[in-house]
Chains A and B, each alone.
Chain A
Amino acid sequence: DSGVTQTPKHLITATGQRVTLRCSPRSGDLSVYWYQQSLDQGLQFLIHYYNGEERAKGNILERFSAQQFPDLHSELNLSSLELGDSALYFCASSTADSSNQPQHFGDGTRLSIL
């Protein structure tokens, strides 16, 4: 158990819809990272928050947005969903935003678009 909690585990929805994925980091961790894992793109970094502030953006579509709340949990919002958004979405947390700190991953949310 990594201590990172992601909900829901599975999500099935239709094209054009909007969903929210939730992540609770390990106790004491200030950094939250979001990654997308798909068969064709592999594991791709989406976005990083540190103590409520956005730190870095990766290959995140404009239809996607995220935020980190004062209690440090984070949400990833995906809107106008397309078939290609079907993937595993992982959240990871670490103590700081240093490259030396390992990231601890949740079990992911599997999003299926029908």
Chain B
Amino acid sequence: GDSVTQMEGPVTLSEEAFLTINCTYTATGYPSLFWYVQYPGEGLQLLLKATKADDKGSNKGFEATYRKETTSFHLEKGSVQVSDSAVYFCALTYNQGGKLIFGQGTELSVKP
């Protein structure tokens, strides 16, 4: 079945470090891909999305490119801040209905 696999956390970085969180997917069709972020005690917020191959989603300095050939959607940020500390979820959806299939989440902790 369809699935999403993320790199295991927690990931601990120093402020201003470069961030990569790996995400790969398995899907029988051509899904839309999303990154969501969950801050402590809050719900999930959409961070960025890409709906077709080679699309690049970007928001708040975060970027991810939809790579069909490697079935990947890795999240990157050039310089992380303490305020980026959160859990990041990669997800896919396709077909009528749009249910989201999530990866297991990657916890990011940024130290000053």
Real complex partners, A and B? yes
* Interface pair B98/A35, CB less than 8 Å apart: no
Please tell me which stretch of A13-21, A68-76, A77-85, A98-106 contacts chain B, meaning at least 4 of its Cβ atoms lie within 8 angstroms of it.
A98-106
> Which of chain B's residues have a CB closer than 8 A to the CB of A92?
44, 100
* Interface pair B100/A33, CB less than 8 Å apart: yes
> Which of chain B's residues have a CB closer than 8 A to the CB of A33?
98-100
A42's nearest neighbour on chain B, judged by CB, is: B104
Query: Does A24 touch B at the CB level, under 8 Å?
Result: no
* Distance in Å: Cβ of A39 to nearest Cβ of chain B: 11
In the complex, A99 Cα to B46 Cα: how many Å? Answer: 14
* Interface pair B34/A99, CB less than 8 Å apart: no
* Interface pair B44/A56, CB less than 8 Å apart: no
Main secondary structure of the interface of B (DSSP, over half): loop
Q: How large is the interface on B (under 10, 10 to 19, 20 to 34, 35 or more residues)?
A: 20 to 34
> Which of chain A's residues have a CB closer than 8 A to the CB of B41?
107
Residue among A43, A94, A101, A105 with the highest chain B CB neighbour number at 10 A = A43
* Interface pair B95/A99, CB less than 8 Å apart: yes
Query: Does B70 touch A at the CB level, under 8 Å?
Result: no
Q: List 18 A-B contacts (CB under 8 A).
A: A33-B98, A42-B102, A43-B100, A45-B99, A45-B100, A45-B101, A48-B97, A48-B98, A55-B96, A58-B99, A90-B43, A99-B51, A99-B95, A99-B97, A100-B32, A105-B44, A107-B42, A108-B43
Residues of B within 8 A of A (CB): 31-32, 34, 36, 41-46, 49, 51, 89, 93-105
